[in-house]
Amino acid sequence: MLIAVISVVHVLVSHYAVGGGLFPRRRGRSRLSHARSPVPRLFARTRPILRPADRRLGAITGVGIWWTHRLSSPLATEVLIRTFVFGWATEWVFFVVELVSAFIFLYYWDRLAEKTHVAIGWIYAGAAWISLVLITGITAFMLNSGGWASEPDSHNFWAAFFNPQFLPQTIARTGGALLLARSTYTFTPR
């Protein structure tokens, strides 16, 4: 239960970040009449991934998932690490790109040309979504191995990653991220 509680909090924070990646370009700098207006910058600062409290909560719960998982089931953790080491390494690359582009998007707000600023926003959105897809393949395997253990010949990364739950969970998580972000980031300048 502890893993589930920590994971739900972590997923909520991360889904706001993933879904929110699509909205600043629609509601941010390019839609306002004056690009230097403080309103879209304030809007960007209120995004959960950029608020310090949410970054800390995301980091603490991310580490907390691993800590509780490792303590409760060391053998399962070993299988996950051996099977998905490439997937986690790739996810971390996209996660770093996501964080760097999010900070560039915010902290270079007034210093970048509008096209560059929008491109950085799209890089953030793409990296966040790819990170979601990679983690979904791993967590879908954790929830439903799809006969992976009973078929020793299929013990490889791709068979585990593209398990029966991968596509439905990817669609559901993408939709959930967009819905959470849409409800939070609805923004109409006056």
**Residue 50 neighbours by CB under 8 Å, 6+ apart:** 44, 102, 103, 106
Q: How large is the angle between the packed helices 74-107 and 52-72, nearest 10 degrees?
A: 170
Residue 132: the pLDDT is: 92
Q: pLDDT tens-digit profile of 45-82?
A: 555 455 556 667 877 888 888 888 888 888 888 888 88
Q: pLDDT tens-digit profile of 91-134?
A: 989 989 988 988 888 788 778 888 888 888 889 889 989 999 99
Distance CA 169, CA 133 (A): 9
C-beta pairs of 116-123 under 8 Å, 24+ apart in sequence: 117/29, 118/25, 118/29, 118/30, 121/21, 121/24, 121/25, 121/28, 122/25, 123/97
Tokens of 179: 């819905």
pTM (2 decimals)?
A: 0.78
Q: Where are the alpha helices (DSSP H) in the chain?
A: 2-20, 24-27, 38-45, 52-72, 74-107, 114-143, 157-161, 166-185
Name the DSSP letter for residue 187: -
Say if CB 141 and CB 148 are below 8 A apart. yes
